[in-house]
Amino acid sequence: MNGSTDLTTSAVDVSKFLWDKVGFEPHPEQETVLRCGKRFILVAGGDQSGKSVTGSKYLLQRFSEPDEPGLYWLVGQDYSQTQREFFYMKDDFIQLGFLRKSSTRVDPGYMELHDGTRIVTKSAKDPRTLSRDAPDGIMACEASLLDVTTFERMRARCSPKRGWLFMSGSLESSVGWYPQLLEAWRHGFDDRQSFSLPTPSNVHLYPNGLDEPEMQRLKAESSDAFWEERIMGRRVPPRGLVFHEFRVDIHVQDIEWAPGEAVHLWEDPGYGSDSAHAIHAVQIINGQIRVFDEIYERNLITEDIIDICKGKDWWKDVRWLVSDPSYKDQHHSMNSVGEQWLKSTGLFATGTKVRINEGTERLKGFLKPDSINGVPKIVYSPRCTGVLSEFGAAPNPFDGQTRAYRWKTDRDGNIVGNIPEDKWNHAVKADIYGIVDNYGYGHVRSGDKIRVKRW
């Protein structure tokens, strides 16, 4: 399978031929999506907009491109989410006379075509199924229900064969990795493109589009957010989010601990029953900060957190500790946080007091991609769900709710004051302490010149 990002004229002609054979006539918005030749496509569809049909027809036209039998995945949060696309495809291949054999169920499901091409269903609940083989293309079904870790796995599995990834789903909210990518890819970004597929665009159900009485009634009776997200497939920009610069496709990477490289621990103890004790395990490699692991716990004492750290494989490479200067020397128990670390591990905790807005701007500077190579100075593993939730890219790991770091707002959503609300920010603060302690407020200095001590 080649990695071309353009559908040739002959490929478009083949698509039209196949659509005619199965009796499919796309509405204009569907056709715009199907004519897109990008490798990574995201579709946010309104209810009954035809997003599942669009996905099935996308695979129908792409399977004919390779010169040899292909392998394609249908991935859902669980197997049931793949059902619509699976049976739409099965019906099409039967009509075309291409189907050799198939399962009658989707848990798991498979199809085999006469040329040897295979289409199989995958459940994100079993990550092991996403590590086998390398597909030519992946169809993510109801993709907005998937987590960012699954997105990363799918993206990685596309690499060996330069395969494509087509994701479609309804917006459950405007906060999270899926709506973030919808916004980031809207105008095209390298080999990535996103689309909104509004419900009234489906002229087969709503011939008059927005002018249909049913659409007008629904708009009048719905909240603005519901109408935009669930009907029009458009993101409602979240008000008050502190870090709009964070993007899942740039800042989340499948990074791992590199044995032998020094590990830095960046900590915010987060005192309070609703607060998280956040620790990031960090390596600085080729000038880039790589947050490869996270401890994000609640209602545990410092000794428990230390025990968790000491049980990690990467513990043998830990050299430095940066902690919240407001707490590391305070005696909340018999020993301060810093004293407990020193006593239990020999690590001497450093940390510099950081003004909130200056610290926030410092982290934003590290999130900014390089103007030449597009690489940011800090990246995160998808396993760091605590900080991802604070950036607004994932649900809170404690209760599954949206708990992003935000500015204070009034009931109309207007920002109040000039300091963000001091909550849902402990992993973010841990990174700010680490960055300021290592690099200061100004220019970035070499990562191997860090004034810290190990006793």
Tell me, what's the pLDDT at 449? 41
pLDDT > 60? residue 376: yes
Phi, psi (rounded to 5 degrees) for 13: -60, -40
Tell me, what's the pLDDT at 333? 54
Tell me, what's the pLDDT at 5? 43
pLDDT digits over 302-341, tens only?
Answer: 999 999 999 999 999 999 999 998 776 665 556 788 889 9
Lowest mean pLDDT among 175-184, 359-368, 411-420: 411-420
State the DSSP code for 127: G
Phi, psi (rounded to 5 degrees) for 406: -135, 160
Whether the bond into 397 is cis, omega within 30 of 0: no
* Mean pLDDT, residues 50-57: 94
> What residues have CB less than 8 Å from 119, skipping those under 6 apart?
59, 63, 72, 73, 74, 86, 89, 110, 111, 112, 113
Run of H or E including 385: helix 385-391
Query: What is the Cα–Cα distance from 232 to 219, expressed in whole angstroms?
Result: 10
CA torsion angle for 408, 410, 414, 415 (degrees, to 10)? -20
Tell me, what's the pLDDT at 454? 38
Q: Are 119 and 111 in contact (CB under 8 A)?
A: yes
Tell me, what's the pLDDT at 6? 47
pLDDT confidence of 22, banded at 50, 70, 90? very high
Half-sphere exposure of 90 (CA within 13 A, CB side): 18
**How far is CA 172 from each of CA 45, 146, 192, 281, 341, rounded to the nearest angstrom?**
11, 11, 22, 32, 42
Q: Of all residues in the chain, what percent are helix, strand and coil, respectively (each to 5)?
A: 35, 20, 45
Give Cα 157 to chain centroid, integer Å. 15
pTM of the entire predicted model: 0.78
- Look-up of token digits 């770091």: 405
For the chain, give the percent of residues with pLDDT over 90: 66
Q: What is the residue-wise DSSP string for 340-376?
A: HHHHHH-BPEE-----HHHHHHHHHHHHSPPTTT---
Tell me, what's the pLDDT at 400? 82
Query: What is the Cα–Cα distance from 187 to 355, expressed in whole angstroms?
Result: 36
Q: pLDDT averaged over the chain?
A: 88
Query: What is the Cα–Cα distance from 41 to 252, expressed in whole angstroms?
Result: 18
pLDDT digits over 262-287, tens only?
Answer: 999 999 998 766 789 999 999 999 99
Q: Are 405 and 391 in contact (CB under 8 A)?
A: yes
pLDDT > 50? residue 296: yes
Q: Which of 73-77, 185-189, 399-403 ranks highest by mean pLDDT? A: 73-77
pLDDT > 50? residue 60: yes
Lowest mean pLDDT among 5-9, 103-107, 199-203, 326-330: 5-9
pLDDT > 90? residue 352: no
Tell me, what's the pLDDT at 11? 55
pLDDT digits over 112-165, tens only?
Answer: 999 999 999 999 998 778 877 899 999 999 999 999 989 999 999 999 999 999
Query: What is the Cα–Cα distance from 253 to 228, expressed in whole angstroms?
Result: 30
Residue 442's SS3 state is: coil
Give me the domains of the chain, ranges plus CATH numbers.
9-231 (3.40.50.300), 248-439 (3.30.420.280)
Tell me, what's the pLDDT at 83? 96
Tell me, what's the pLDDT at 131? 78
Tell me, what's the pLDDT at 451? 39
Q: Are 74 and 121 in contact (CB under 8 A)?
A: yes
Tell me, what's the pLDDT at 224? 87
Tell me, what's the pLDDT at 14? 81
